[in-house]
């Protein structure tokens, strides 16, 4: 369906769906600064073909969801030094957005898949709202920002000033993909060009991205909380991820009781098309396993 908006957790959230509403609900949560568009529609359709009713959405401060323009300016340098007093919200709030969206869509519970920051949000959802999360798939993510260990090259690319033109947006996306993407797989330049154009048209909010970053800092090391997750869990990570080191994925899997770890050779901090069947099959297998065990009682 075309994108729509709904009120959830006190803000407006933009979302789109794929597949039959009779399917198993599956919520896709995107990473830092990424609108729902970064979930490739063909990837979403593969999930729908597995019998899922797929919901992708824009996190707060991204895309067509509410942007907190009136919030105090975030101080990222202070956040890096441990002073997170300028954070406007935490990962708890972002997780509550996801749960609120499901409630607004009259979905009691869903399989939840998050990538990078989206994986952190999904982890927090599973901790805070165990009855809402049927299964958890955490991709290229971490239970603590201290475990990420991005390379200097990635850090340099991330710290460049925001692009000021459509072409610069495309150039920046391509250069970041070359630095942070999967070295064993080709870059889909045609798709990235289309994506960059759509993102430019929807507007880029550098301060919104900074507020999301502060939410990560303000939430700190969540390892002990992640140990409380009851949902059947799958952790997927590339062994060549230069943004969030594979050790962070291994730590995520170690912290979640009974979690399955799937390390994909040659994958970086993206989802290469060639690996979609593997990833989709793993998510589907997890969902089948989750549906064979009793759901946790509501908190």
In a domain, 97, yes or no: yes
Q: What is the pLDDT of residues 280-289, one digit of tens each?
A: 999 999 999 9
CATH code of the domain containing 261: 3.40.50.1820
The number of distinct structural domains making up the chain is: 1
In a domain, 243, yes or no: yes
> Is the Cβ–Cβ distance between 113 and 279 less than 8 Å?
no
Alpha-carbon 257 to chain mean position:
21
State the virtual CA torsion across 125, 158, 34, 268 in degrees, nearest 10: -80
List alpha helices for the chain, DSSP H.
41-49, 76-80, 91-104, 117-128, 152-158, 166-180, 189-202, 206-219, 223-226, 246-255, 276-290
pLDDT surpassing 80 at residue 228 = yes
> Is the Cβ–Cβ distance between 107 and 26 less than 8 Å?
no
In a domain, 172, yes or no: no
Compare 239 and 81 and report the one with higher pLDDT.
Answer: 239
Backbone phi, psi, residue 136, to 5°? -120, 125
Q: What is the pLDDT of residues 265-280, one digit of tens each?
A: 999 999 999 999 999 9
In a domain, 124, yes or no: yes
Q: Which two tokens stand for residue 191?
A: 């798709």
In a domain, 189, yes or no: no
In a domain, 15, yes or no: yes
Q: What is the pLDDT of residues 172-224, one digit of tens each?
A: 889 999 999 999 999 999 999 999 999 988 888 899 999 999 999 999 999 99
In a domain, 176, yes or no: no
- Asked whether the whole model's pTM tops 0.85, one would answer yes
Q: State the pLDDT at residue 250.
A: 98
- CB atoms < 10 A from the CB of 136, how many? 28
In a domain, 92, yes or no: yes
% pLDDT > 90, the chain = 87
Compare 59 and 171 and report the one with higher pLDDT.
Answer: 59
Sorting pLDDT into bands at 50, 70 and 90, what band is 166?
confident
Boundaries of domain holding 274: 4-149+206-290
Q: State the pLDDT at residue 296.
A: 53
């Amino acid at each position: 369906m075309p994108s729509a908006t709904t009120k959830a957790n006190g803000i407006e959230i933009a979302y789109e769906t794929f597949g039959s509403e009779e399917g198993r609900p599956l919520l896709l949560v995107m990473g830092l600064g990424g609108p729902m568009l970064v979930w490739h529609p063909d990837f979403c359709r593969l999930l729908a073909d597995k019998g899922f009713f797929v919901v992708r959405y824009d996190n707060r401060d991204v895309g067509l969801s509410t942007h907190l323009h009136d919030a105090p300016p975030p101080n990222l340098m202070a956040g890096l030094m441990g002073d997170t007093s300028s954070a406007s919200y935490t990962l708890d709030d972002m997780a509550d957005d996801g749960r609120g969206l499901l409630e607004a869509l009259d979905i009691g519970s869903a399989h939840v898949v998050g990538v990078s920051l989206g994986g952190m949000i999904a982890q927090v959802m599973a901790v805070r709202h165990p009855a809402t999360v049927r299964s958890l798939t955490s991709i290229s993510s971490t239970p603590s920002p201290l475990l990420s260990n991005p390379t200097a090259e990635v850090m340099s690319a991330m710290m460049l000033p925001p692009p000021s033109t459509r072409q610069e947006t495309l150039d920046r996306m391509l250069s970041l993909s070359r630095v942070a993407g999967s070295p064993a797989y080709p870059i889909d330049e045609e798709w990235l060009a289309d994506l960059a154009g759509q993102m430019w048209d929807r507007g880029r909010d550098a301060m919104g991205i900074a507020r999301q970053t502060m939410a990560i800092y303000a939430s700190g090391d969540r390892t002990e909380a992640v140990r409380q997750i009851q949902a059947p869990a799958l952790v997927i990570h590339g062994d060549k991820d230069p943004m969030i080191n594979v050790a962070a994925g291994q730590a995520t899997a170690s912290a979640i009781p009974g979690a399955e770890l799937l390390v994909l050779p040659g994958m970086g901090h993206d989802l290469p098309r060639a690996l979609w069947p593997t990833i989709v099959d793993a998510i589907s297998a997890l969902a089948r396993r989750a549906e064979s065990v009793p759901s946790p009682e509501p908190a």
